[in-house]
Amino acid sequence: MFTLDLARQFEINDASGEHDHYIQLHCELRYEPVPQLRALGHFESWFFHDTDDELVRWADRLGRQEFWTIVRHSHPQKIWIYQEQV
């Protein structure tokens, strides 16, 4: 399967407001591994607010990735929504 995993990470604090752990919420779209998708290989991109990158610039770069053109015309075989503690 070709997997497109859209994830959002949330910081969980304890009762005193200190960092305790993170929760990641995932929406996985799984596609048949057609040759065009298989050829894409692996790609990963994260955005963190405490870096020098700007959200708009990061989103623009992400929006220009080749896989969007391919998956836009495909239908996922499975959609899986889950959360995990990290």
Neighbour-count burial of 64, counting CB atoms closer than 10 A to its CB (0-12 exposed, 13-18 middle, 19+ buried): exposed
Name residue, tokens 């995990």. 84
pTM for the predicted model, two decimal places: 0.78
Residue 86 burial by Cβ neighbours in a 10 Å radius (0-12, 13-18, 19+): exposed
For a pLDDT cut of 90, what percent of the chain falls above it?
58
Domain ranges for the chain: 2-85
Average of per-residue pLDDT across 16-37: 94
- Average pLDDT value over all residues in the chain: 91
69 pLDDT higher than 90:
no
Strands 78-85 and 2-13, how do they pair?
Answer: unpaired
